[in-house]
Amino acid sequence: MVLGMPEGSKEEAKESLAGRAKGGLLFMGGFVILLYVIEILNTLMRHGLNSTFGLRPRSTDGVLDILTFPLLHANLNHLLSNTLPLIIFGFLVFLAGLRVFITALAFSWLGSGLTVWLIGGGGVTVGASGLVFGFFAFLLVRGFFNRNWWQILLSVVLFMAYGSILFGVLPTVLGYISWQAHLGGAVGGVIAAILLRPKPALTQVSRS
């Protein structure tokens, strides 16, 4: 008899992972399709949606724009640059489960938006890059909190492949790049990883 996980449990784990993988592909695929549909409509309207639903820093009306600005982009090239990392990082986060994904998404979204609203420069901010930075930061720190060697290895690989994007959280002289959105998204991802970290096991004390 081989010691370890029972065969039934192994099969259930495989099915569970396969289900999460399928769900991640469907969700991220659907989300990206939605972004392209919105971009097509926005292009037909000469990107008039950006001025209405883009995020305007320190504007009372701009608070609601926190909910909409990641859905809009400056142009098709802007959306294309966000598409692949958004799918990859979002899919990897989804593998940890729907609750984990929703938490990481919410904190990345809100962190990015609130940071832009509070300290953003002039003009209107649009784009899903804050979500990209949030998912990326979440994946980087999650493995260390979980003490999971597979997740740590994944974090190292991600850092080697995409670590250069972390420079996007630094202030830049390029006015068309919102480092505030990147920084806020990354902070939100880290906060989500902290909140979702495993709780320390309670030590049982026996009395004699």
Q: How many Cβ atoms from other residues are within 10 Å of residue 190's Cβ?
A: 20
Nearest to 181 by CA among 142, 134, 149, 141: 134
pLDDT of 173 > 50? The answer is no
User: Residue 159 has which token pair?
Assistant: 């850092």
CB 123 within 8 A of CB 207: no
Q: Mind listing the pLDDT tens digit for each residue in 192-203?
A: 999 998 876 554
17 CB-near residues (< 8 Å, 6+ apart): 95
Mean pLDDT along residues 75-90? 92
The fraction of the chain above a pLDDT of 90, given in percent, is 59
pLDDT number for residue 45: 96
Q: Which amino acid would we find at residue 40?
A: I
Q: What is the pTM of this model?
A: 0.84
Contact 86, 131 (CB under 8 A): yes
- N residues, the chain: 208
Cβ atoms of residues 195 and 143 within 8 Å: no
Q: What does the pLDDT read at residue 11?
A: 58
Q: What is the mean pLDDT of residues 108-124?
A: 93
Please give the residue that has the higher pLDDT: either 45 or 150.
45
Q: Between residues 165 and 149, which one has the greater pLDDT?
A: 149
* Model pLDDT, residue 168: 58
| Beta-carbon contacts of residue 71 (< 8 Å; ≥ 6 apart) | 34, 35, 38, 53, 128
Residue-wise pLDDT for 34-79, tens only, equals: 999 999 999 999 999 999 999 999 988 888 999 999 999 999 999 9
Span between the terminal Cα atoms of the chain, in Å: 38
